[in-house]
Structure 1
């Protein structure tokens, strides 16, 4: 009896809990149950649709455009970004083949372009930039008229911003659109619009504006430069020569060379006994501070 009592007094080893096999829940079932809902990736059927980027030369005319202009505006006003992309591509078709129908709503269209460029969706942003390319080629100087001037200035700023981005495929399209803008418009009024951005606080915007200014000036003769103002023009170039980005400085050098050629090849200057380099040096020293004049003279080979 004593032995039996001692056995009963000894502590017993606790029984280990039983292990249960893990059951994998299918991915679809996890979504159904709402597991990890805030971090779940979208299912294939909810993924964003693929947007086609159509080249200008591949765009076709719109059948019966008179009856479809209203549906175009409805598409541009849509809250569905894919429908806005589709409408922007149709706007490109109107611009290229039926521009007279698009003219009355041009101001509103530019507002839509600006809004789309601000959208964080790269596909919508790029499509709007491509649309601006075709609109520049189709309407040119019309965009500078008083009725659309404010909308154009907003569009210009957005293109300079997008050309300054790190997203290469957006940046390249914006560069193309800015180049189309310069090609399609008279340089003098456009130069006045661009002038506001050479002192912008964003150094990338200054550089992109400098490139467009350089392209504008290369299209101008001496009379156009004089109408803008030779002295303000060389002062703009002198300021950009010391800018932060190489792209802006190189554009400024191209501007200086264009002004130099126009100034020294003028008939009045050709009849001078002084060499072109001497004439240029005198002009720069007369209108710029010494350090700026020195920089401008160095650009021109002696």
Structure 2
């Protein structure tokens, strides 16, 4: 069972408090000295370090300035702001059905200029056909035991995916070759899906790479993730979608994407891998 939201918020606050404690210790100063440098009471330092009082952004800046650790301010402030909602459980969104899950990211899609998407499991949502999306979302609903609103969820996904037709945006995809081979639907539906991939690869604002099975890799296969501009990352696991906003986290996933992209085939070689998967459907 997922933990209660209040417990997750407290865990995030405790993690932030621990990081602030380490910043102070690395500076070699006591809680009392920190309080003097910040101009507040020693008890306030103690409450923050013990996660009794959540710090404000200004408190974090003062704390880091007192410890000569200004370089850590952006990450710590981002962690502070996302403490209440950094880890969004699929189940919480899915209680009202899968349609809500599709619509929950609509605004984010509209305000993003560059999408970088790596997938190791299924065809990226942006590139799914209605038939493939129906099979996938139906499987998810059955596995999760969520309300049966697959048709509405598919329609919501297709509306959301309309951003792919906006030539002013940029999309970069990296797929593991296994994604092209997984049979999540019937052969006709999968053939239509792979054909749709080939058409999407013709769009001038879409770059799609495929990492072949036999490629000597520089990085290992990873869980699926999406980088929205340089501001936010969604990283998927079986039970959750982590929303990451700390600059160091975004940088980490950005570097991972670039390494994965280097391992991928692009252009005609990538098209050949998709076409081969299509031919194998018989």
TM-score, normalised with respect to structure 2: 0.31
Structure with the higher fraction of residues in strand conformation: 2
TM-score, normalised with respect to structure 1: 0.29
Structure with the higher fraction of residues in helix conformation: 1
Structure with the bigger RCO (C-alpha within 8 Å, sep 6+) is: 2
